[in-house]
Structure 1
Amino acid sequence: MKIGYMYKMHAYPPKGGNHVHALELVQGFLKAGHQVCVLDDPTMPGVSNFSGGSAEDLQAFIDNIDVLYVRVDARYLGEWPEVGACMEMGGSRPVVWEINAPANETLAFSWLGGRRLNVHESWLKRLQRWFHASRKMPGIRKEESLRRNLAKRVDSAICVSSALKTYAVETLGIADAIVLPNGGPLISEEEIRQRREKRASDRFTVFYSGSAIYPWQGLDFLSAAIRLAEDRAPDIRFLLAVNQYSDSLPDGPNVEVVQGLNREQILDAICSADACVALHPEYVWSPYRFHGSPMKLFEYMACGTAVVTSDRGQMAELIEHGSNGLLCSDSPDDILAQLMNLRDDRELALRLGSAGRQLIQQGRSWSDNVVATLDIFTRLLETRER
């Protein structure tokens, strides 16, 4: 099978979750013996890269594929005309959308950016947020209209959460839609042991991986819990791995911040931690309240480390509290209480970490995602041949 994958980024080496997603799928397709063509990504190993600079270039891309697979996220398709052009050129080739976000995810900065947990906002600040969001609404409506129009040509949608399946079916009108969350790497017990041997501190360590500037990463929740821990649990060490520094980062004797770790170093840190956190705020402007599929959650579990995560959205669907992880509210007291539970009961931490790893091993790995995605491509191609 010859797969055309459009994702509009340079994905290797991976710098974020969207890069990891594209990389894992592409390498999985190649490992399964298929050919992969991409547009304007000379970094991706093993693929045939085509320029998207002209109609002739796009036609060459289309002529070399059997199925077109398009990543749809918060970036506007209206600013990516190659998608519509390739879909039109595709003829009878199946078109599959990988849906990662609705257009209104761009409102995250309006409603969440710069906010601080438990800090009262003035009416003027709320008005400024409303005005900032209102200015974005016409563009969002235009983008959703374009998506609905393009979606008429889409054969199937792979949605990273149940909320996004609802979006695909009810908003975009794509009847054939499935839920396929992000995955985690398959890591052996021996590899985990070797990575844990690199641990440098004996203190109970809580690890966070993510951005210090994107408000949907929940760092303000963790920062508030860290401040509480200075008095209530000063023995807990917090290790924060971020891509860039920000004035919102917490500091203090119980915090260590590291910047720019590569993927191997991130996995070392996860394996060496006693607990990992994936905290995500409610999307107050969205009818779905939360639509994401936090990749860090899957990576944490893949490494066999106990997780504490927000009790909403996909996190609450995957995690059974006390069975394969711990769920928490947005309250700093609750977040810290769950971490202290793991500190005080190391057997619980080990049991939850093991159960989380089993979840990845038994159907939630990137390898499983590749198989499920290829099954959809094969089904659509077989339908075309009948």
Structure 2
Amino acid sequence: MPKPPPLPGRRWHLPSALAAELDPDHATRNGRPRRTARDWAVDFALFLIAVGVGLLGAEETTKDPNIPYGLEVADQWIGALACAAVWLRRRWPVGLAVAMVPVAFVSNSAGGAGLVALFTLAVHRPFKYVAWTAGASAALSAVFFWLRPDSEVPYLVAVALAVLLTAALVGWGMFVRSKRQLMVSLRDRWRRAETEAALRAEQAQRLAREAIAREMHDVLAHRLTLLSVHAGALEIRPDAPRAEVARAAGVIRESAHEALQDLREIIGVLRASDGGDESGRPQPTLAALDGLVSESREAGTKVTLDNRVSDVSAAPASVGRTAYRIVQECLTNARKHAPGAEVAVAVSGAPGDGLTVTVGNPAPPGDVPHVPGSGQGLIGLTERAMLAGGRLDHGPDGNGGFRVRAWLPWG
């Protein structure tokens, strides 16, 4: 597989072989061009064509009794040098074609080299260069046959054949150029599509990783916070009553078990070939809020729930899951940053009006121990609400407390 090209916005470079074929100067900017075996074969074939046509021209010159012997020898020497110059056609196509116009005019033996040079110019350069050179060659052919008339072919027929041959060479050369440009364009598009596909795959993987990271944070942070809070309570109060110690240990055990179950669920999603959930555990919905609040109460958090949703079972699964995660993260943050404060959870909404979730707590009643946190939870909640088509606002309530308010669409 070829190496992908640079990203969009940077200059695209054509493959070296095709770039050198369309633009010989491209390959000579940093050194002499390196010809492939195909290039050598094409150059040798065109050289043989130039020599063959030149020999026919030399034979016609020999048969003409009006041409002195010295001019015949000079004509043949000029034709030989012109055929040798064909090997320079890739490096200087314009200069060679322009030089061959007067050379072919004075030498019959250089006619083949002139045809090859014109064809090369049509292949490697735009039409504006070809038009001037081909026009000059066609005009000089009329003068050539006027000065050296053919005894077997009428003047007008000879001129018409020369012009037709020139037009055919130009057309053939332009066809080859267009075909090569099409190949370059198709290859460039293929390489660009390959790069864009790789970028899309990378972006999809990044979005999937972000979604997995957000899900892991929302799911595990709640369980691990319970573990941290109750383990810290046992550490601070080793002389607590036996019943309270047993209750805290039970909460720790239950939270650890649920954390492991949630972790297995996420790993099952990662391992699923179709991106589904192999664990078989249902995702939380709006109806699971009562269980979440009860769990928080059992863990020692004071929580009140005001659920005014007209029909909980009618709420879309994605909206209910997003609302559940918002409440879960808010309860986790309240437990960490406002221990002992009563958390008020209010949920209201109906189809067509949207779902509104409000979670707030007053200032904590006592000192708050330092709990490490990065604020990624609230950032993740904001992103989750935006992905669901809603919005989320959070901040102090003005009385020392904190409030989170989210609105989610419910069509």
TM-score range, shorter chain: under 0.3
Higher helix share: 2
In the superposition, the TM-score normalised over structure 2's length comes to 0.25
Point out the structure with max Rg over C-alpha: 2
More strand by share: 1
Higher RCO by CA contacts (8 Å cutoff, separation 6 or greater): 1
What TM-score comes out, normalization by structure 1 length?
A: 0.26
